Chain A
Amino acid sequence: MSHTGLTNLELDVLKEVGNIGAGNAATSMSQLINKKVDMQVPSVKVVAFDEVMNIIGGPEELIVAIMFHIEGDTPGTVYFILSKEEAEQLVSKMMPEQAVTNFKGTEVNPLAISILQEAGNILTGSYLTALSDFLNLDMQPSIPYFGCDMAGAILSVGLVEISEVTDYAIIIDTKINDHDMVSGINGQFFFMLEPESLSKIFNSLGINNYD
């Protein structure tokens, strides 16, 4: 990872940033589905674009994603990613009466889309609020955009935003999950940061050796 110029201290800081956001999001998720929700220790990866898709199972993997553009002090893109089965679970937990098949290929019941957009809004909102308070930086999410298709096609939307500047993406990858072994929900937050956002985060925390 030497090409990134990130020190261990800086990587730790980004992990902590992911931790704080996901902790808050896990609490929201827990309220949403009325179950205990845990989070995993986040990983911070600086990877080539191809590697981004491989983190979630390759470019052809079918995923359900709620995407937000972040504006303000730290421009970037946040994805809340679920598998099709997990998205189905989440819809049925939030709206038990909506117990029909909501997903057929990439075609999704419009009500299920609204439910997932709203869930994404709540979870990503609490993720970003925690970060924004901790870092004392302004982070404004866009409205939620819903996508259900191949991972490569969906994630490249966020990569296009940074690709004019770099060939590497900085990804803070955080998982939250409930403890249901049979029909668990593992949600994954992908925070793709634009390079200029990094120095703002480090500055805000008083780590100034990043340039």
Chain B
Amino acid sequence: MIETRDVIKVGIADLNIVKAPNMIRTSGLGSCVGVVIYDLPNKIAGLAHVMLPDSALAKEPKKNIYKYADTAVVYLIELLLNNGASKYSLKAKLAGGAQMFQFTANSSTMRIGPRNIEAVEKALNTYKIPVVGSDLGGNSGRTIEFNPATGYLNIRTINKGEKDI
């Protein structure tokens, strides 16, 4: 029997949730961090494509809560719990936070990858969600796809091939 599977796409500064047998993916992560929070027993997962570390940095009148690590993680957890996930089985997997260019000049974007990683880890720690797998840093772009049925995160880069964590 053939099951139809959809792949939910998450854009930049965006988030969404998915239930098995569907998958969820985001493409072209650079300094951005892809945060997967999932509940394996209930086969439900959420993915956020975080762009900036801290919503306190926002200089826009109406801020996009999907864009910042602190607000996106909180909202994603809430969304998962409202859709049948159990608080105590939530786990996280992370990918991204690369440094795409070797900057010499002093620029606010210089350490954005590591700052995003720190902010995501801090937010997850607040909710006591363990990070069980990660592929962070380096200088390659990544495309990631998560399967809520198996709990595997597939990571694809142009140069360093593909792997599952």
Contacts and interface: CB of A to CB of B under 8 A. Distances in A.
Given A143-B105, A150-B30, A157-B31, 18 more contacts: A49-B11, A49-B12, A106-B140, A145-B102, A145-B103, A149-B100, A150-B141, A150-B142, A150-B158, A153-B30, A153-B141, A153-B142, A154-B100, A156-B51, A156-B100, A157-B100, A165-B60, A167-B64
Given A49-B12, A165-B60, A156 B32 contact: yes
Interface of A: 48-50, 53, 58-60, 62, 67, 69, 105-107, 142-143, 145-147, 149-154, 156-157, 159-161, 163-167
Contact of A157 (B101, B105, B140, B158): B101
A183 B133 CA distance: 44
Contact of B57 (A105, A157, A164): A164
A164 B51 CA distance: 10
A60 B27 contact: yes
Chain B binding surface, main DSSP class? loop
B12 A59 contact: yes
Most chain A CB neighbours (cut-off 10 Å) among B12, B32, B101: B12
A60 to B, nearest CB: 5
B101 A160 contact: no
